[in-house]
Structure 1
Amino acid sequence: MPRVQLPAVTPIHKAWNKGRIIGQKRPLFPRQVWAIRARLELAGHLRDKAVFNVAIDSKLRGCDLVKLAVADLVKDGRVRERVSVIQSKSKKPIQLELTENTRDTVFEWVRSPEMIGCRFMFPSCFRDRPQISTRQYGRLVRDWVKAIGLESSGYGTHSMRRTKAAEIYRKMGNLRAMQLLLGQTKVNSTVRYLGVELENAHRIAERIDL
């Protein structure tokens, strides 16, 4: 009896990105920033409010944000308006500014009982870690956006980094300024990061005389 060759059956696997929003994470709009800030204020989550405010103002990558030490932001009992940080990715310094609201939050946080003897700005709840991890930071971001009714898969730690930069760009249209504020070495990287349309980017770049 002749053998019948059956066609090979390829198992169907569920796509890893099915149902997920992939690609660049969205920045928050000002009204969303204030909605999250208000919820953290009402909940009395002082550490998380400090993390959120510093993240928005500093525009730091998550790996650099979680490593901030108290001494980086506070000197002689006062919170600095401007802070210089060496970036983990580029090994180059970047200067960041802290608004009055953020400075007030940081000052209140570092004077709280939870911060006694802490070296890092955002200590972890786990005893084996001196500061929160980037994974913990990512979970915080997801909790914040879900709390105000946003789809958490569309946002992440880079949303915090992009939020203020995107708002400044909308008002100024200055790519060179954004490049410096984000600590990026190439304008092309800034263009992609901010989601700037190429033609718009060229028009702006033509107006910038370096």
Structure 2
Amino acid sequence: MAEVQAIKDLDTVKLISYLLEKRCSKQMSHIWNIGLNLALRISDLLSVKFTDIQNDRLIIFESKTGKLAEIKLNQKALAFIHEVRVTHPNHVYLFQSYRNQQAKSSRPRPLSRRAVTRAFALVGEELNLKLGTHSMRKTRGYHLYHKTQDIARVMKMLRHSSEATTLRYIGITQEEIDKDFEELEL
């Protein structure tokens, strides 16, 4: 699997959302926008059911770690979730597969990871970016780190156990750390 990157420019973050909607679907744009705000692994994001959302919180067990993730939903995430719910009031999953005939005649299933991977790769190729399903999680971590400079806080949000893993994951390079030392003179 190819290494994907955090999107460091906020205008590019918005452009990706726009292109996903125009080139693929509104659903793919919603996955991008909600994924940015929840920082979940794609398998967990796609498995979210509307019943997992209680008031302003998402409560799920992460599939990779088995840990309970209780995430307070910000206003932007709540607005996107509300839009999906109003558009598809009978859906069980937040990102339910509904376009093909099989989906219409069988029990509800979430959208496949493969479909999301293809859509993100298409937009990534257009923008010459290494864009993938982990890009949402990495992007949120990167921007939280740059806002707070608190790696422990980013680790907690991503539910990582090592600073080194988190720094590598969000794309903080030794070059950036060196630059911080050069620019900050006390």
SS in 1 for 2:96: coil
Unaligned runs of 5+ in 1: 1-21, 204-210
Match of 1:91 in 2: 66
- Higher normalized helix content (fraction of residues): 2
The residue that corresponds to 1:166 in the other structure is 142
Question: Over aligned residue pairs, what C-alpha RMSD do you find?
Answer: 2.8
**What one-letter code is carried by the residue in structure 2 that aligns with 1:109?**
V
Q: Residues 10-159 of structure 1: matches in 2 within 5 Å?
A: 24-28=3-7, 29-39=9-19, 45-73=25-53, 75=54, 80-112=55-87, 115-124=88-97, 125-126=99-100, 127=103, 130-146=109-125, 149-151=126-128, 154-159=130-135
Q: Secondary structure at the match of 2:136?
A: helix
Closer/same/farther in 2, CA of residues 91 and 68 from structure 1, 3 Å limit: same
Count of matched residue positions in the alignment of Structure 1 and Structure 2: 171
Question: Shift of residue 167 of structure 1?
Answer: 0.9
Look up the equivalent residue of 1:176 and give its one-letter code: A
Normalising to structure 2: TM-score of the pair? Answer: 0.78
CA distance in 2, matches of 1:187, 1:94: 20
Q: Which has the larger radius of gyration?
A: 1
Normalising by structure 1, we get a TM-score of: 0.70
The residue correspondences of 1:174-185 to structure 2 (distance < 5 A) are 174-185=150-161
**Matched-pair contact (CA < 8 Å) for 2:5–2:170:** no
Helix, strand or coil for the counterpart of 1:94?
strand
Q: Which runs of 5+ in 2 are unaligned?
A: 181-186
